[in-house]
Amino acid sequence: MTIEVGARIPSITLNVLKDGVQAITTDEIFSGRKVVLFSVPGAFTPTCSAKHLPGYVENLEKFQSHGIDVACMAVNDAYVMKAWSRDQHVPESLIMLADGNANLARALGLEMDATAFGMGLRSKRFALYAEDGTVKALNVEAPGEFKVSSAQAMLTTLGV
């Protein structure tokens, strides 16, 4: 079942690469904060690298000027997420989350089976906005589309 507006983000452990792989919980990410979490099917994939992540990098200051943190998630390991962040010139303040086993994607009900494309279990392309761990907005893309989860679409959704 897909998470809905008004629901709490489940407590899940993800990874980031700082000085080695470090665990970070969704409680640490969302508690007491306003956060846009956007998810991509995979690091280094065409739409994700050409449009999705770059849009959030370009608009990061707009979100931050309204007290909103931004996090990117993919079903990749922390090393891939770090390499992708370097390749895309992602500022340190944009959190790059590795959901390597799709634990958060599954807990949100936003996983997809991409085995037909040789990618295994992945996350759907989506963006959500949460305040103190409660989902206030959720934009999930239809398969193969990139319309409602972009940075600009989330800025519009939030009236920012």
Tell me, yes or no, if 48 is annotated catalytic: yes
pTM score of the predicted model: 0.96
Give me 18's structure tokens. Answer: 């700082």
Tell me the C-alpha distance between 89 and 116, whole Å.
Answer: 31
Q: What is the pLDDT of residues 78-88, one digit of tens each?
A: 999 999 999 99
What is the predicted pLDDT for the residue at 155?
98
Catalytic position from the list 3, 40, 48, 70: 48
Tell me the C-alpha distance between 72 and 75, whole Å.
Answer: 11
Q: What is the pLDDT of residues 105-160, one digit of tens each?
A: 999 999 999 888 878 889 999 999 999 999 999 999 999 999 999 999 999 999 99
What is the predicted pLDDT for the residue at 24?
98
- Read off the pLDDT of each residue in 30-50 and give the average, rounded to a whole number: 96
Structural domains of the chain sorted by starting position, each given as residue range(s) with its CATH number in brackets: 13-157 (3.40.30.10)
Give me 109's structure tokens. Answer: 């009900």
Mean predicted lDDT score pLDDT of the chain: 96
Strands 126-131 and 68-74: unpaired
